[in-house]
Structure 1
Amino acid sequence: MAWEERDGALWRSFVFKDFSEAWGFLTRVALHAETVDHHPEFTSVWNRVDFRLTSHDAGGVTDRDRALADVIDRLAGQ
């Protein structure tokens, strides 16, 4: 599944083997997001992580969101 653009945001879900794998992935995303000062909205339920990327100050999806989506894909091994 690729990123989907809807409601002024990029959306994607990732499914992992278990909670630990999902949490490790989220940790890697968080460390990167902090370095680029662009923090994603996400939910995590056991082995699934859902993202919603948008630039609130710009009122929608920007190049920063697309760049973060690319990094998230790489961190997930996609």
Structure 2
Amino acid sequence: MKKLSEDEIHEKLKGLDGWTYAKDAIHTSFQFENFKEAFTVMTRIAFEAEAQQHHPNWGNVYNQLEISLSTHDADGVTEKDFKLAKTIEDIIEATG
């Protein structure tokens, strides 16, 4: 998979609300009502990530979820990252 240029990344980020680019990855964070809601969303993301064979770097503390996406094989951001980011956005949107 081809590493995207910074211009390509910034252009694609326009279609994702709340995502930023830094340190060869795209990043976002979410806050939920409580730990159970955060963990439920993480579980849904985990199943989708496994299906796409592309896994996020993430952290969770209580109701906070921080996500970073990059393609390690390409040493940067690729289309795979944006595909997973879109999936994550769809999951978040569906949970309301």
* CA shift for structure 1 position 42: 0.3
Q: Please state if 1:34 is matched with 2:50.
A: yes
Identity of aligned residues (%): 37
Q: Deviations over 1:31-67 (max 9, x none)?
A: 0001110011100000010001000110100000011
Please tell me whether Structure 1 or Structure 2 has the larger radius of gyration of its CA atoms. Answer: 2
Tell me the TM-score normalized by structure 1: 0.96
1:43 aligns with 59
Corresponding pairs, count: 78
Q: Which runs of 5+ in 1 are unaligned?
A: none
- Which ranges of 4 or more aligned residues in structure 1 deviate by more than 6 Å? none
1:21 aligned residue (23, 37, 53): 37
* CA shift for structure 1 position 2: 1.2
Equivalent positions of 1:36-75 (< 5 A) are 36-75=52-91
Tell me the TM-score normalized by structure 2: 0.78
